[in-house]
Structure 1
Amino acid sequence: MVMMMMMTTKSMAREEVEKRKYDIAVVGGGPAGLSAAWAAAKAGASVILFEKDEAIAHSVRTSGVSWIDSMDALGIPSRLYNPISSYRFVSPANEVMITGSSPRSCVLDVRATYQHLAFMAAEAGAEIMVRSNVINIEKDENGKVVGVKVSTPEGDLGISCHLLIDASGFSTSAARRAGMAGEWKRYGAGAEYECYCDHANSAIWTLMVGQQYSQAGYAWVFPLSENRVRIGVGIGRPESQADPLDRLHDILKRRLKPLDQLGKIQPIELHYGFIPNEGTRPTTVADGLLLVGDSAGQANPLVLEGIRYAIEFGRLAGQVGARSLGVGATRESLLEYEKAWKSKVGSKIASALKVQSRWIGLSDEEWDREIEVLRDMSADEFVDFVKAEFTTTKMMKLALHHPKLAARQLFNMVLKS
Structure 2
Amino acid sequence: MASDGSSSNSYDIAIVGGGPAGLAAAQAAAAAGANVVLFEKDEAIAHSVRTSGVSWIDSMDALGIPSHLYNPVSNYHFISPSNDVLISSGGRPRSCVLDVRATYQHLAFLAAEAGATLMVRSNVINVLKEGSRVAGVKASTPAGDLEVKCPLVIDASGFSASAARKAGLAGEWRRYGVGAEYECYCDHADEATWSLMVGRQYSEAGYAWVFPLSKNRVRVGVGIGRPESQADPLEKLHSILEKRLRPLDRLGRIQPVELHYGFIPNEGSRSQSVADGLLTVGDAAGQANPLVLEGIRYAIEFGRLAGEVGARAVKNGGGAAAAAASKESLEEYERTWKARVASKIASALKVQSRWVGLSDEEWDREIEILRDMSADEFIDFIKADFTAAKMVKLALHHPRLAARQLFSMVLK
- Map of 1:385 onto structure 2: 381
| RMSD across aligned positions (CA) | 1.3
* Cα distance in structure 2, aligned partners of 1:332 and 1:191: 40
Is 1:139 matched up with 2:139?
Answer: no
Shift of residue 13 of structure 1?
12
Out of 86, 97, 101, the residue aligned to residue 111 of structure 1 is 101
SS at match of 2:195: strand
Structure 1: gaps of 5 or more residues: 1-11
Q: Write the deviation string for residues 318-340 of structure 1: whole angstroms up to 9, x where unpaired.
A: 00000001231000000000000
Amino acid at match of 2:166: R
> For the structure 1 residues 15 and 277, does the alpha-carbon distance in structure 2 shift closer, same or farther, using more than 3 Å as the test?
closer
Larger radius of gyration: 1
Amino acid at match of 1:103: P
Is 1:330 matched up with 2:329?
Answer: no
> For the structure 1 residues 127 and 16, does the alpha-carbon distance in structure 2 shift closer, same or farther, using more than 3 Å as the test?
farther
Contact 2:129–2:135 (8 Å) recurs in 1: yes
Shift of residue 15 of structure 1?
9.5
* Cα distance in structure 1, aligned partners of 2:383 and 2:248: 25
Amino acid at match of 1:407: A
> For the structure 1 residues 375 and 161, does the alpha-carbon distance in structure 2 shift closer, same or farther, using more than 3 Å as the test?
same
After superposing the two structures, state which structure 1 stretch, 401-410 or 346-355, moved more.
401-410
Amino acid at match of 2:205: A
Is 1:407 matched up with 2:406?
Answer: no
* Cα distance in structure 1, aligned partners of 2:404 and 2:97: 30
* Cα distance in structure 1, aligned partners of 2:402 and 2:194: 26
Shift of residue 408 of structure 1?
1.5
- Map of 1:45 onto structure 2: 34
Compute the TM-score of the two structures, normalised by the length of structure 2: 0.97
After superposing the two structures, state which structure 1 stretch, 124-133 or 407-416, moved more.
407-416
SS at match of 1:373: helix
Shift of residue 238 of structure 1?
0.1
> For the structure 1 residues 22 and 215, does the alpha-carbon distance in structure 2 shift closer, same or farther, using more than 3 Å as the test?
same
SS at match of 1:219: strand
Out of 361, 368, 383, the residue aligned to residue 365 of structure 1 is 361
- Map of 2:195 onto structure 1: 206
Out of 58, 80, 84, the residue aligned to residue 47 of structure 2 is 58
* Cα distance in structure 2, aligned partners of 1:13 and 1:368: 62
* Cα distance in structure 2, aligned partners of 1:17 and 1:75: 39
Q: Would you say how many aligned residue pairs link Structure 1 and Structure 2?
A: 404
> For the structure 1 residues 17 and 121, does the alpha-carbon distance in structure 2 shift closer, same or farther, using more than 3 Å as the test?
farther
Q: Write the deviation string for residues 75-129 of structure 1: whole angstroms up to 9, x where unpaired.
A: 0000000000010011100011001120000000000000000000000000000
- Map of 1:179 onto structure 2: 168
Is 1:289 matched up with 2:278?
Answer: yes
Amino acid at match of 1:364: D
* Cα distance in structure 1, aligned partners of 2:135 and 2:279: 12
SS at match of 1:213: coil
- Map of 2:245 onto structure 1: 256
- Map of 1:70 onto structure 2: 59
SS at match of 1:232: strand
Contact 2:6–2:145 (8 Å) recurs in 1: no
Shift of residue 409 of structure 1?
2.1
Is 1:125 matched up with 2:115?
Answer: yes
* Cα distance in structure 1, aligned partners of 2:353 and 2:256: 31
Q: Give the alignment of 1:162-173 within 5 angstroms.
A: 162-173=151-162
- Map of 1:193 onto structure 2: 182
SS at match of 1:359: helix
- Map of 2:346 onto structure 1: 350
* Cα distance in structure 2, aligned partners of 1:415 and 1:15: 55
- Map of 1:265 onto structure 2: 254
* Cα distance in structure 2, aligned partners of 1:354 and 1:95: 23
- Map of 2:321 onto structure 1: none
Amino acid at match of 1:282: S
* Cα distance in structure 2, aligned partners of 1:308 and 1:147: 28
* Cα distance in structure 2, aligned partners of 1:34 and 1:16: 29
Q: Write the deviation string for residues 236-271 of structure 1: whole angstroms up to 9, x where unpaired.
A: 000000000000000000000110000000000000
Is 1:85 matched up with 2:81?
Answer: no
SS at match of 1:246: helix
Q: Write the deviation string for residues 209-255 of structure 1: whole angstroms up to 9, x where unpaired.
A: 00000000000000000000000000000000000000000000000
After superposing the two structures, state which structure 1 stretch, 404-413 or 211-220, moved more.
404-413
Amino acid at match of 1:320: V
Is 1:376 matched up with 2:392?
Answer: no
SS at match of 1:62: coil
* Cα distance in structure 1, aligned partners of 2:2 and 2:196: 57
Amino acid at match of 1:35: A
Compute the TM-score of the two structures, normalised by the length of structure 1: 0.96
Amino acid at match of 1:356: Q
- Map of 1:5 onto structure 2: none
- Map of 1:25 onto structure 2: 14
* Cα distance in structure 1, aligned partners of 2:252 and 2:11: 53
Shift of residue 16 of structure 1?
9.7
Is 1:151 matched up with 2:140?
Answer: yes
Structure 2: gaps of 5 or more residues: 318-323
Contact 2:6–2:144 (8 Å) recurs in 1: no
Stretches of 4+ aligned residues off by more than 6 angstroms: 12-17
